[in-house]
Amino acid sequence: RFRREARSVQKLAHPNIVEVQDQGVTEDGTSYIVMEYLDGASLAAIIAQGHIPLARGLGMMIQLARGIARAHDLDVVHRDLKPENVFVTHREDGSDLVKVLDFGIARSLHDPRLTEQGELFGTPQYMAPERIANADSGPPTDLYALGVIFYELVVGELPFDATDVTAFFVKHLKDPPPDPRKKNPAVPDALAELVLQLMAKDPKARPVDDHRVLNDLIDIARAAHAPIPPDPN
């Protein structure tokens, strides 16, 4: 499974996804992956440092949406999106370059040998209700996790607070997503509405796909006069 999932990431090949340069097995039977070297910090570390200006946060969100859109276009679902699995390095001009990391529990919709339906892996703080209820792990589960990450980016804290895994599960299943404007009134209405839609309990109520999310984010950035990261395409 380790080797198959390494190959699934190799095929993604996108500037906003960490590059896997090689993978294989050593003479003693140890599996390995060789990834590009990145200099920077995790998104979790950046959020922990304090307030992120809206323009910078939108740039990160746009690049994160581009990376996940690429994965979903090739039918790979990440299933463990969280700030610890998002790395921020820099381009030559000093601007942020976002990389999605750790597809270690990713599921390829074309390869039933990869991590199977029915197995509950992931991080409770970012887990979509349908994954908790029936272990369903289609693309909408990544969209839900994006909503939680975007909330953290603009508010600086998780949308749900709990002391244990079960309590997090209950809140994801039953509690309505909190409006980020209540914690940060400076959040644009369109961005707050996108976050709430991404965190909808019903997967069908979320945006149709990551390309829709990306288009909405670009519109929000333009309205906020925020710079739009260069399109890798």
The Cα 49–Cα 63 span in angstroms is 20
Q: E-assigned strands of the chain?
A: 20-25, 31-35, 41-42, 76-77, 86-90, 96-100, 107-108
Q: Which of 28, 73, 80, 136 is catalytic?
A: 80
The Cα 77–Cα 81 span in angstroms is 10
Query: Residue 114: how many CA atoms within 13 Å on its side-chain side?
Result: 22
DSSP category for residue 115:
S
CA dist 207 → 123, 192, 212 (Å): 22, 14, 6
Is 80 annotated in the active site?
A: yes
CA 137-143-144 angle, to 5 degrees, is: 80
Tell me the two tokens of residue 151. Answer: 């909330």
Residue 76, phi then psi, degrees to nearest 5? -115, 125
| Nearest partner of 205 among 216, 194, 215, judged by Cα | 194
Say which residue the tokens 């276009």 belong to: 73
The Cα 226–Cα 221 span in angstroms is 5
Q: Which residues are catalytic, by number?
A: 80
